[in-house]
């Protein structure tokens, strides 16, 4: 057995985050090797390093036994590595063969010779059983066919190691079957395939070996024969669950947020969430565990009034808010920590004073009777948040983008908890932040809860969920499939509910 890639001790850090922490494993030639892990586990950073898009801080790669130092994807391509991105990189108004040769022909001004390329491409498509009419325009192709073109494109560039980033995310089931057939064919001809996914079913079906990543580390590599969905789920989630700290119950009997039979409007024929019934009291943290993409995003957007609700009701402190606009909901005191602070929670090109206003720009705190912005309050409150939440910044005039991820997140959390909100929706509040920031955010969330705040905590981090939640639900395919006691839940239980196995 030859190894196609040796990953040796690769580490890579970004400000505040250790994305890859001494990752080592081997990929055997002519196999399908899957890499699984939650979002943020470090899969994509590892792939970017493999494809030369990023350089590791430490460690090195061996391709077919030779040490490889990639400066750019160009080097990776010449070493025989090809990447099929999740989002296709195709020119829609060109034909299949034009897309395949795009960027290859270096004879700048001469006409690209059709006759030179088409036979080659046709041969290639026959050789690897990837049937396609090379004269069709990309616009006229289905998603599965477009993906086939992407694969042909990298093969045409001489790749014998293919990286497929979440290839099934865009496909319907039949197309997935076809793709898997194609992949098996490729492997039988000696191609090595790296398959990135978080769907355990698929991984079990297609992969020969499976590596699991968690929190930037390589947890382990198992072969298909020894693996099961359950084992993989446990590896993804982690075995050692923290014991939730015991505490006096401060949960009040007053309702904070209620969701009644909530059902989201179908989009692309899918119902994002349905039969959602939840009751969160003041002083209570309700956790929702789940693998990403099971309706969490749509549910949180529905609570904020950004995702259309088909039926059901939302009550805040016993007042129905189902029909209110996002702004009106914000004014009634709904706070929100978004999963992606940079795109959803901050205007990074503005300073912290302006950012403290975001989300409360029409509240009495920041808007006068004549709708003028009260920058005095903003200045004072931003300083308070910076002090109380240990946000490291030269001053509050600093642009948000100058802060590290952890400090940005502390600022967002501070902004959302400060000013006495009635309810807090926290979506992945500590994703991608360093341990210090994480501990502080957890403390602040507990503190706010003890002061009587009701919190809905949506997370994929089980440490976080078990450590903070007073009650815990598992969401799977848009439904709350199980309520668990945070004190009694086991990783096996959580893992199987989260992956839809049930017990």
Q: Which two tokens stand for residue 148?
A: 């086939």
Task: Give min distance, CB of 230 to another protein, in A.
Answer: 37
Task: Give min distance, CB of 349 to another protein, in A.
Answer: 5
> Does position 422 bind another protein by CB under 8 A?
no
> Does position 367 bind another protein by CB under 8 A?
yes
- Taking the least distance from each CB to another protein, the nearer of 95 and 404 is 404
> Using CA atoms, how far apart are residues 127 and 106, in angstroms rounded to an integer?
26
> Does position 13 bind another protein by CB under 8 A?
no
> Using CA atoms, how far apart are residues 105 and 170, in angstroms rounded to an integer?
30
Q: Which of 129, 243, 252, 344 binds another protein (CB under 8 A)?
A: 344
Task: Give min distance, CB of 345 to another protein, in A.
Answer: 6
Task: Give min distance, CB of 384 to another protein, in A.
Answer: 19
Q: Which of 347, 379, 442, 492 binds another protein (CB under 8 A)?
A: 347
Find the part of the chain contacting another protein (CB under 8 A) among 125-133, 283-291, 398-406, 464-472: 398-406
Q: Which two tokens stand for residue 399?
A: 């642009």
> Using CA atoms, how far apart are residues 5 and 27, in angstroms rounded to an integer?
5
> Using CA atoms, how far apart are residues 84 and 94, in angstroms rounded to an integer?
19
Do 213 and 46 contact (CB within 8 A), yes or no? yes
- Taking the least distance from each CB to another protein, the nearer of 187 and 403 is 403
Do 186 and 128 contact (CB within 8 A), yes or no? yes
Alpha helices in 199-292 (DSSP H): 200-206, 229-237
> Does position 388 bind another protein by CB under 8 A?
no
> Using CA atoms, how far apart are residues 139 and 260, in angstroms rounded to an integer?
43
Find the part of the chain contacting another protein (CB under 8 A) among 130-138, 205-213, 255-263, 391-399: 391-399
> Using CA atoms, how far apart are residues 163 and 102, in angstroms rounded to an integer?
20
Find the part of the chain contacting another protein (CB under 8 A) among 70-78, 120-128, 164-172, 353-361: 353-361
> Does position 366 bind another protein by CB under 8 A?
yes
Backbone angles phi, psi at 30, to 5 degrees: 70, 25
How many residues sit in the footprint of another protein (CB under 8 A)?
Answer: 43
Site string for another protein, 289-328 (x = CB under 8 A): ---------------x-x------------------xxxx
Cα-based distances in Å from 425 to 1, 119, 280, 412: 51, 57, 11, 12
Which residue has 């993804």 as its token pair? 236
> Does position 389 bind another protein by CB under 8 A?
no
- Taking the least distance from each CB to another protein, the nearer of 95 and 382 is 382
**Cβ-proximal residues to 303 (8 Å cutoff; 6+ apart), any chain:** 257, 259, 314, 334, 425, 456
Find the part of the chain contacting another protein (CB under 8 A) among 201-209, 260-268, 366-374, 483-491: 366-374
> Does position 393 bind another protein by CB under 8 A?
yes
> Does position 225 bind another protein by CB under 8 A?
no
H-run or E-run covering 146? helix 143-156
Task: Give min distance, CB of 383 to another protein, in A.
Answer: 15
**Cβ-proximal residues to 495 (8 Å cutoff; 6+ apart), any chain:** 230, 233, 234, 236, 237
> Does position 386 bind another protein by CB under 8 A?
no
> Does position 403 bind another protein by CB under 8 A?
yes
> Does position 338 bind another protein by CB under 8 A?
yes
Task: Give min distance, CB of 452 to another protein, in A.
Answer: 24
Backbone angles phi, psi at 117, to 5 degrees: -100, -40
Do 261 and 483 contact (CB within 8 A), yes or no? no
> Does position 381 bind another protein by CB under 8 A?
no
- Taking the least distance from each CB to another protein, the nearer of 118 and 347 is 347
Instruction: Please count the other Cβ atoms lying within 10 Å of the Cβ belonging to residue 23.
Output: 23
Q: Which of 256, 262, 285, 346 binds another protein (CB under 8 A)?
A: 346
Do 16 and 434 contact (CB within 8 A), yes or no? yes
- Taking the least distance from each CB to another protein, the nearer of 269 and 394 is 394
Q: Which of 359, 429, 432, 491 binds another protein (CB under 8 A)?
A: 359
> Does position 407 bind another protein by CB under 8 A?
yes
Identify the bridge partners of residue 286 per DSSP, sorted by sequence position: 456, 471
Task: Give min distance, CB of 375 to another protein, in A.
Answer: 8
Q: Which two tokens stand for residue 127?
A: 């050789």
Cα-based distances in Å from 69 to 81, 113, 378, 417, 427: 13, 34, 49, 46, 38
Interface with another protein by CB under 8 A: which residues?
15, 304, 306, 325-331, 336, 338, 343-350, 354, 357-362, 366-367, 371-373, 392-394, 397-399, 401-404, 407
């Amino acid at each position: 057995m030859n190894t196609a890639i040796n990953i040796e001790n690769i580490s890579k850090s970004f400000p505040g985050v250790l994305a890859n922490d001494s990752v080592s494993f081997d990929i055997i030639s002519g196999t399908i090797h899957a890499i699984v892990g939650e979002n943020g586990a470090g899969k994509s950073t590892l792939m970017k390093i493999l494809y030369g898009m990023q350089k590791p801080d430490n460690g090195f790669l061996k391709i077919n036994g030779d040490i490889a130092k990639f400066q750019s994807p160009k080097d990776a391509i010449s070493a025989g590595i090809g990447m099929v991105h999740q989002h296709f990189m195709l020119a829609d108004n060109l034909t299949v063969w034009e897309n395949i040769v795009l960027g290859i022909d270096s004879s700048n001004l001469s006409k690209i010779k059709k006759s030179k390329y088409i036979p080659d491409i046709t041969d290639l498509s026959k050789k690897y059983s990837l049937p396609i009419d090379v004269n069709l325009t990309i616009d006229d192709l289905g998603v599965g066919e477009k993906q086939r073109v992407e694969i042909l494109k990298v093969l045409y560039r001489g790749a014998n190691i293919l990286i497929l980033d979440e290839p099934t995310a865009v496909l319907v089931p039949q197309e997935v079957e076809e793709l898997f057939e194609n992949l098996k064919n490729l492997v039988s001809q000696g191609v090595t395939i790296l398959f990135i996914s978080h769907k355990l079913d698929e991984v079990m079906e297609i992969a020969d070996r499976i590596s699991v990543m968690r929190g930037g580390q390589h947890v382990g590599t198992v072969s298909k024969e020894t693996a099961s969905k359950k084992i993989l789920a446990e590896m993804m989630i982690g075995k050692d669950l923290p014991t939730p700290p015991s505490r006096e119950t401060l949960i009040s009997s007053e309702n904070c947020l209620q969701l009644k039979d909530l059902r989201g409007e179908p989009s692309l024929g899918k119902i994002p969430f349905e039969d959602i019934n939840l009751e969160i009291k003041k002083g209570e943290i309700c956790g929702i565990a789940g693998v990403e993409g099971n309706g969490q995003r749509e549910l949180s957007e529905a609570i904020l009034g950004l995702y259309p609700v088909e039926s059901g009701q939302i009550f805040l402190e016993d007042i129905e808010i189902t029909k209110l606009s996002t702004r009106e909901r914000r004014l009634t005191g709904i706070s929100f920590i978004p999963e992606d602070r940079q795109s959803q929670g901050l205007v990074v090109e503005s300073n912290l004073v302006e950012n403290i206003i975001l989300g409360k720009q029409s509240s009495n705190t920041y808007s006068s009777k004549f709708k003028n912005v009260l920058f005095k309050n903003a200045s004072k409150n931003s300083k308070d948040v910076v002090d109380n939440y240990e946000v490291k910044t030269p001053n509050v005039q600093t642009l948000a983008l100058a802060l590290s991820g952890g400090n940005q997140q502390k600022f967002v959390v501070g902004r959302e908890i400060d000013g006495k909100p009635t309810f807090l929706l926290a979506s992945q509040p500590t994703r991608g932040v360093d341990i210090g920031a994480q501990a502080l955010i957890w403390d602040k969330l507990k503190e706010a809860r003890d002061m009587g705040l009701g919190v809905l905590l949506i997370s994929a981090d089980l440490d976080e969920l078990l450590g903070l939640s007073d009650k815990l639900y598992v969401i799977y395919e848009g439904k709350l499939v199980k309520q668990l006691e945070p004190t009694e839940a086991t990783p096996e239980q959580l893992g199987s509910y989260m992956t839809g196995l049930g017990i």
